[in-house]
Each structure stands twice: as C-alpha cells, then as structure tokens.
Structure 1
C-alpha cells in the first residue's frame, strides 16, 4: 500500500509542481486523505520534487548549458545567465534557512495549506489584472533588478499552499514580464531552489530514514519525473490561453471542498 501511495503522490507532484496551485499543498492534502502522514512522509514529499526538477533540466538542457557559457542562445546578445538565478534565489534561501525548522514543524498542516491556497489565489487574480499587454515574452529580457524582485515574491512560497510557481509567475507578471517568460523563469529558478531545499531537509532528516526507504522514495521520484515531463509541455500552452484566474478559481474550489471534508 505504501508503494501505491508513493505513486499517487508522485503523480500529484508531477502534475502540480509547475502549475500555480501549490504542489506542496496538494501533497499535504492528498497525504492526509490517503493516510500518508508523519515525519517520513514530509521528507518524502520534499524529496520527490527532485523528480519534477530533473524534468526541467532535461527539457531545458541547452538553456542550463548557456547559464554556464557552454551553449549560445541564438539572437541574444545578453541572454539569461547564472547571476540572474543567484540574485533571484538569495531572498528565499536566506529566509528559508532562518525559518526551516519553524516551517516544517508548524506550517505543514491541512489548515495552513488552505490559508495559503486562498491567499495565493488572490495574488494570481491580482497579477492577471495588472498584466501589461506590452510585456515581453522573452526570457532573455529579464533584468537583474527584475530577477531580484521575482526572488522577493518567491519568499511567499515558504508558506505551504501558497505555491512557488504561483508566487514567482505572479511576481514576474507584476514586474513587467509576459506569461511565457515569467513561467519559464519560474521553471529554471526552481532547479537550484529545490535542490537546495531538498538537500537541507535530507541532511536534517537522515536519522529518521533508512536504506529500506530507498525503493519507496525512488518510486515517487520516477513517477514525478515522468508526469512532470508531460505536464510542463502542456502547461505553457494552457497558461497563454487561460492565464492565471482559472487556476485561482480552482484553488478556491479545492479549499472549500477540503474545508467541508475537514469539518464533516
């Protein structure tokens, strides 16, 4: 049964990691529904996010090579580089290190997730209304200042349920980027952020894990990777068609349904 639960969680992670609906929030809510809870489950939910992150690396492999000067982006004199990611990642890294233990102990619960889902949904609607028709959809038009501003918005995602992609995509739109550019920057920024967060969590949780946990963790990892590969390809097309408000409505409906479940 644990392996079935791992596959379910892997599917949920792959589908939601890059959509602005909060993958962590969904994993916590689904984990509560299927009885997959506890300290080991919290670490599992963070670890399988690496599967989704690997999907980004595979799909944007040339882009990652260009960050290190190992490939060129055609037609761009000043393409996105590693410094953009460092600047964008710093705010959440610093705040995450300071609040890591507090977040894991007090904020990983269905109630806090519901709060994050609603608050994040309101941000999505606000970003949609403030979107500029003249915004550039080129990832390489994002400046260092804009990267830092997006990084500040990313700090909101430290609250489970708020959504890392939701906060960074909304932040990108609010500072002048187009939907496609904001989403792709969010995808690429996720790689160093999630590797760092997962590494820190695994180090702090080693005493709670054993060799026998490896098959379970790998099952969730591989499932999340496969599903995320498919989800990323379709999400960009969907985002440009429907924008962010439908995702906000989904968050509100999900919050209402789960609140009813919790009460009754």
Structure 2
C-alpha cells in the first residue's frame, strides 16, 4: 500500500472509533493529522466525507426502525410522524448555523489547540452532568416531547466547536433534561443521519471541481478506502456503545477526553 492508502486506513479507523462515542471524531481526526504530520488542508475534505459511511452504519444497524418509520409515515401513523418530526426539528438549528458560521468554523478546524481545549472542557461537563442529571425511564424517540427534541438540536450546535463532539453535545444535552441514557444515545444516532448527510453533501459540492477534475491530491480512491474502514469499525462501536453506557455511564469517556486533551495541549504548546 502507498502512503496515501495507509493514511486513509488510519483516519478511517479513527473516524469509526470516535464518531459515535462522546469524544469528538472531528477533534481526533484533526489531532491525528497534526500528530502524524499529515497535510491538514490536503485531508480536509476526506475527513468530512468519511463521516458519511460511519453514519450509514446507523442505517444498517437500525434498518428495521427506518423501514417501520417510513411505512408508518405513509400511513400517517402518529408515532412514525412524531419520530420524523423530532429528528427534523432537532436537525434545523445546526443546519442554519452551519451555513451562517461556516467561515468561522473552518478557522477553528485549523486550530488544533482549540480542539484539545474543547476535549478537556467537554470532559469536565460530562462529569458534571453525569453527577447531577436525573435519568428518566427509557422511551422511544417518537415519544420525546417536541420542546425537548428542539433543545437537543440546539445543544448539537456546540459541536461546531471542533473537539466538543456532536454525540457528546446531543447526549449530554438530552441527559440534562432527564432523558434516559439509551434514549439519548439512540436519538443522537438518528440525528446524525441528516446532520452528516448535509455536512458531507455541502463539502462535496464546495469541492466538486477539484474532485471531479482529478486535481485533488486525496481523491475518490482514498475516500473509498477510508469510508469502508470507517463503516466497518462503526458497526462494531455502535453495538458496543449502547451496551456499555447502560452498565457504566459516560464518566470513562469524560476522563479519556480530559487526559487526551490535556496531553495534546502540553504537546502543542510545548509546555
């Protein structure tokens, strides 16, 4: 394998391992790129696009839910319509802010120290919410009240700060409102589908000329390799995550964030 293929595999593994854990996949990709000496600008499109295959792992694992919702929506079934409503309403805040703040977000994406600091701050917040939040009973996503679904969507906007983590922002936001851990994790998974489809589509559109002309140094072949790896690893991680948090909660991920973030800050700042 050439160096580009090896890099694609490494970043695909990083993406698959971290997309659904509350540790920030984008933050890990940025730090991995910096740590291993890859050209960050060169791999920028790749790092966004390989999130889509990871999201497809959710569709594969929860295919029955998606099929049932689609069938129910066609029949105007209330539960199915409420499921669609909750996911779309939660998606809207980040869709709007993502367009309005794209240039500012791009600047933050190029600042590894921001990622490291966000990992630490997010880890501390997870520990506080785990300690203070009261967990409710499990309920399907379709049963969540509309105001809570919207509030989770607003919390997702925190993930525009690289290193904060989309899954951490949504899950911790849900927990702070008394939503059950499993419900919070599943809602975060389902919300990832339109969110990451939208982010990937925009990135591909913005870079369409470079990709279609073959001028990009990281092309479709590298994206395909990274995407397959990301998808396969994500399948394993999602199954592990739902089972794990039911027994152990989120504190181990919080301490991991704090240690990795603090270590990265020391390394980046040369302390």
Residues of 2 paired with 1:65 and 1:58: CA distance? 11
Matches of residues 4-43 of structure 1 in structure 2 within 5 Å?
A: 4-43=6-45
Q: Retained in 1: the 8 A contact 2:55–2:192? A: yes
Q: CA deviation at 1:121?
A: 1.3
Paired position in structure 1 for 2:232: 226
Deviation (angstroms), 1:257: 1.5
Unmatched runs of 5 consecutive residues or more in structure 1: none
Determine the C-alpha separation between the residues in 2 that align with 1:146 and 1:221.
Answer: 33
Q: Which runs of 5+ in 2 are unaligned?
A: none
202, 224, 242: which is aligned to 2:248? Answer: 242
1:97 aligned onto 2:122: no
Question: For 1:196-225, what per-residue CA distance to the aligned partner results, in whole angstroms no more than 9, with x for missing partners?
Answer: 011111111223334471110100000000
Number of the residue aligned with 1:203: 205
**Separation of aligned partners in 2, 1:185 and 1:133:** 15
- Residue 139 of structure 1: how far off its partner (Å): 3.1
Answering whether residue 182 of structure 2 is matched by residue 180 of structure 1, we say: yes
Give the equivalent residue in structure 1 for 2:195: 193
Alpha-carbon separation, structure 2, partners of 1:95 and 1:263: 30
Aligned pairs, number: 261
1:136–1:176 CA contact under 8 A, matched in 2: no
Change (3 A) 1:194 1:28: same
Q: Which residue of 1 aligns with 2:79?
A: 78
With over 3 angstroms needed to count, the CA separation of the structure-2 counterparts of 1:36 and 1:9, relative to structure 1, is same
TM-score, L = length of structure 1: 0.92
Secondary structure in 2 matching 1:220: helix
Ranges of 4+ aligned residues in structure 1 off by more than 4 Å: none
Query: 1:77: Cα distance to partner?
Result: 6.7
C-alpha distance after superposition, 1:159-191 (max 9, x if no partner): 110000000000111112100000000001000
